[in-house]
Amino acid sequence: MSQAFIRVQRTDMLFPTRQGWFHALRDIDLDIAQGEFVTLIGHSGCGKSTLLNLIAGLITPTGGALLCDGREIAGPGPDRAVVFQNHSLLPWLTCFDNVLLAVESVFGGREPRSRLMARTEEALQLVGMGHAMAKRPHEISGGMKQRVGIARALAMAPKVLLMDEPFGALDALTRAHLQDELLKIVAATRSTVVMVTHDVDEAVLLSDRIVMMTNGPAATIGEILPVALPRPRDRVALAEDPAYVHARKAVIDFLYTRHRHAEAASA
Final residue belonging to a domain, choices 133, 157, 181: 157
Indicate the length of the chain as a whole number.
267
Residue 169's SS3 state is coil
- The C-alpha atoms of residue 186 and residue 175 are separated, in whole angstroms, by 16
Residue 184, φ and ψ in degrees, nearest 5:
-70, -40
User: Quick one: pLDDT at residue 92?
Assistant: 96
- The C-alpha atoms of residue 159 and residue 26 are separated, in whole angstroms, by 26
User: Quick one: pLDDT at residue 170?
Assistant: 82
Bridge partner list, 14:
23
- The C-alpha atoms of residue 229 and residue 238 are separated, in whole angstroms, by 9
Same domain for 69 and 179, yes or no, is yes
Q: Which of 240, 246, 262 is nearest to 210 (CA)?
A: 246
Same domain for 69 and 88, yes or no, is no
Report in angstroms the alpha-carbon separations of 23 from 97, 127, 197, 214: 41, 39, 21, 13
Domain that holds residue 101: 80-157
- Decide if 72 contacts 66 (C-beta within 8 A): yes
Same domain for 145 and 171, yes or no, is no
In tens, the pLDDT along 67-112 reads 999 999 999 998 999 998 877 899 999 999 999 999 999 999 899 9
- The C-alpha atoms of residue 4 and residue 265 are separated, in whole angstroms, by 36
Final residue belonging to a domain, choices 134, 157, 180: 157
Low-confidence ranges of the chain (pLDDT < 70): 1-2, 258-267
Same domain for 183 and 255, yes or no, is yes
Final residue belonging to a domain, choices 106, 141, 157: 157
**R_g (Cα) of the chain, nearest Å:** 19
DSSP label at 111? B
Domain count, the chain: 2
User: Quick one: pLDDT at residue 261?
Assistant: 46
User: Quick one: pLDDT at residue 262?
Assistant: 46
Cα angle, residue 150 at apex, residues 192 and 104 outer, rounded to 5°: 95
Query: What is this structure's pTM?
Result: 0.90
Same domain for 58 and 165, yes or no, is yes
User: Quick one: pLDDT at residue 258?
Assistant: 63
Question: What is the enclosing helix (H) or strand (E) of 206?
Answer: helix 200-206
Same domain for 264 and 179, yes or no, is yes
